[in-house]
Amino acid sequence: MTRHISRRFAGTGALLVAGALTLTACGGSGFEEPADDAGGAGATTELTSSDDPLSVLIASSGDAETDAVTDAVAAWSADSGVEADVQVASDLPQQLSQGFAAGSPPDLFYLSPDAIAGYADNGSLQPYGDLVANKDDFYPSLVENFTIDDTFYCAPKDFSTLALVINTELWQDAGLTDADLPTTWDELAAVAETLTTDDHVGLALSNEYQRLGVFMAEAGGGLVVDDQPVADSAGSVEGLEYVQAHLKDGTFAYAADLGAGWPGEAFGKAQAAMTVEGNWITGAMTNDFPDVDYQVAELPAGPAGPGTLQFTNCWGMATDSPNQEAALSLVEHLTSTEQQLAFSAAFGPMPSSQSASGDWTSANPDLAAFLDGAEYAQFPPTWAGATDVITDLNSQLESLETGDPQEILGGAQSNLEAIAE
């Protein structure tokens, strides 16, 4: 590829120091390489300034996140005197695309790493990252997620990893103790079998790479490692074969097959004794299932060692925003240590600021497994076109129980190779 896009993964050095929101699409279809001549045309390092109010578009994990962001923006607005309105997108990628196409995008918006390349290429994004006062406080690997051609585009708003979440009551009812917390695949299979009853399954999963990918990583695979597609590697296949075996024996189940919208719902309704989810589950548990006691443990290591996936979003800024100086001020408020810790308390994400790590760990000792996992987490690929590859892969993973893992991953490999050329 003629354009350098940040694609670092934990297995290749993407280590979060100090102990250290599903992927969104960037529009389009197919697996063609975007044109390289766009070059982020239209974006400059000079910020616009006006009296115009700000529009902020977010995707929300629930009322806890919506209320927290709305309150934070309202507090900044009251202090700054600049009007600002928060809107929750029902389909963020679609609404962003429509806004840009119409020439009226939101001033600020949630933006995932897999979407940045497309929007940067066509000049939709204002590259303001180096102007953020607290830019040196962000974890370097998070900054890299939003860096293209050595340009830091947007401030990471927070991050999350995946861990094993366990229903404490169901665990104890099955006669299990802390000594039984699984640290290997064999142990995970054993406790999942012990926990499976006529009323609930041992482990609930979602039928997508963004969760099943942890098993690929734990077997030494993934989608992209060392800047190379490895979707159909032996490790990737082994990871899916492990999941498939336990979908077949009934100790693992997809949340959809349990009648739940996502694994957190199945877990909260005690349809599953365990699940693999991110730290955003804490907000859902507090708001929707406050009576369910649970604990969080690091994911069991696979044949190649420990593994998890890590997710982040940034505050994207539109090139066409007429009030970018105010937007930058709002970003600095939203990514301040104090505000990120408040967000964490409200709906669970880990702060992107290194200075917040100590306070976060002290305030969340029972969630330390999420932060510990960042030390070896893989990032989903951020190549332009990767969203379409993952969307296609996820459609195949829906039928993993009866499908052929090698064939499923072979298709993903071909698609990744097509966009890597």
Spatial neighbors of 81 by CB under 8 A, at least 6 apart, are: none
Residue identified by tokens 């369910």 is 292
Residues of the chain by 3-state class (helix, strand, coil), percent to 5: 45, 20, 40
Q: What is the pLDDT of residue 102?
A: 94
Same domain as 205, residue 80:
no
Res 40: pLDDT: 45
DSSP per residue, 13-71: T---SS--------S--S-PPPPTT-TTTT--SSPP--SPPEEEEE--SSHHHHHHHHH
Give tens-digit pLDDT for 204-243: 999 999 999 999 999 999 999 988 999 999 999 999 999 9
CA atoms lying within 13 Å on the CB side of residue 318: 21
Q: What average pLDDT does the structure give for the chain?
A: 88
In this structure, what CATH number is given to the domain that contains residue 244?
Answer: 3.40.190.10
- Is residue 373 one of the residues assigned to a domain? no
pLDDT in tens, 60-112: 988 889 999 999 999 999 999 999 999 999 999 999 999 999 999 999 999 98
Higher pLDDT, 3 or 53: 53
395 Cβ neighbours under 8 A, 6+ residues apart: none
In 209-342, DSSP assigns E strands to 224-225, 228-229, 252-254, 272-278, 294-297, 310-317
Measured in degrees and rounded to the nearest 5, phi and psi for residue 94 equal -65, -45
Dihedral over Cα of 404, 408, 414, 417: its sign: negative
301 and 316 belong to one structural domain: no
| pLDDT at 14 (0 to 100) | 32
DSSP state at residue 379:
P
CB 108 within 8 A of CB 331: yes
Q: Is 416 inside a domain boundary?
A: yes
The Cα 236–Cα 223 span in angstroms is 8
pLDDT for the residue 192: 98
What pLDDT does 106 receive?
Answer: 98
pLDDT tens digits for 366-394? 999 998 888 888 888 878 888 899 999 99
Whether the per-residue pLDDT at 402 is higher than 70: the answer is: yes
Domain membership of residue 1 (yes or no) is no
Backbone angles phi, psi at 137, to 5 degrees: -90, -15
Q: Which residues are within 8 A (CB) of 210 and not within 5 positions of it... i.e. 6 or more apart? A: 22, 23, 309, 311, 380, 390, 394
Is the same domain home to 314 and 254? no
Judge contact between 185 and 299, C-beta under 8 A: no
DSSP 308: -
pLDDT, one tens digit per residue, over 234-270 is 999 999 999 999 999 999 999 999 999 999 999 999 9
49, 63: one domain = yes
Q: Count CB atoms within 10 A of the CB of residue 329.
A: 17
Tokens of 187: 């142990």
- How much is the pLDDT for 45? 66
3-state secondary structure of 287: helix
Are both 203 and 101 inside the same structural domain? no
What's residue 421's pLDDT?
58
Strands 54-58 and 108-111: parallel
DSSP 122-171: TT-B---GGG-TTGGGB-HHHHHHTEETTEE-SEEEEEEEEEEEEEHHHH
Tokens of 209: 């790479």
Please tell me the predicted confidence (pLDDT) of residue 43.
Answer: 54
* Whether the Cβ atoms of residue 74 and residue 40 lie closer than 8 Å to each other: no
Q: CA 25, 66, 337: angle at the middle one, nearest 5?
A: 90
Residues 167-198: tens digit of each pLDDT: 999 999 999 999 999 999 999 999 999 999 99
Check whether 25 has a pLDDT greater than 90. Answer: no
Distance from the Cα of residue 318 to its chain's centroid:
22
**What confidence score (pLDDT) does residue 27 get?**
29
Position 13 pLDDT exceeds 70 = no
- Regarding whether 320 and 304 lie in a shared domain, the answer is no
| Three-state DSSP state, 336 | coil
261-314, pLDDT tens digit by residue? 999 999 999 999 999 999 889 888 988 999 999 999 999 999 999 999 989 999
Highest mean pLDDT among 6-20, 162-176, 358-372: 162-176
Q: Is residue 3 part of a domain?
A: no
346 lies in the same domain as 203: no
CA-wise closest residue to 228 among 5, 406, 420: 420
Does residue 406 form part of some domain? yes
Same-domain check for residues 183 and 247: yes
Res 53: pLDDT: 97
Domain that holds residue 237: 162-309+382-420
Q: Do 175 and 281 belong together in one domain?
A: yes
Task: Kindly state whether residues 168 and 152 are assigned to the same domain.
Answer: no
Does residue 2 lie in a domain region?
A: no
Please compute the mean of the pLDDT values over residues 150-155 and round it to a whole number. Answer: 95
> Does residue 291 share a domain with residue 155?
no
Question: Among candidates 343, 346, 348, 317, which has minimal Cα distance to 56?
Answer: 317
pLDDT of residue 3: 33
The structural domain count of the chain equals 2
CB atoms within 10 A of CB 193: 15
Taking residues 403-420, report their average pLDDT: 96
- Domain annotation covers residue 4: no
Say if 250 falls within a structural domain: yes
**239 and 328 housed in the same domain:** no
Q: What's the chain's Rg over C-alpha atoms?
A: 21
Predicted local distance difference test score (pLDDT) of residue 267: 98
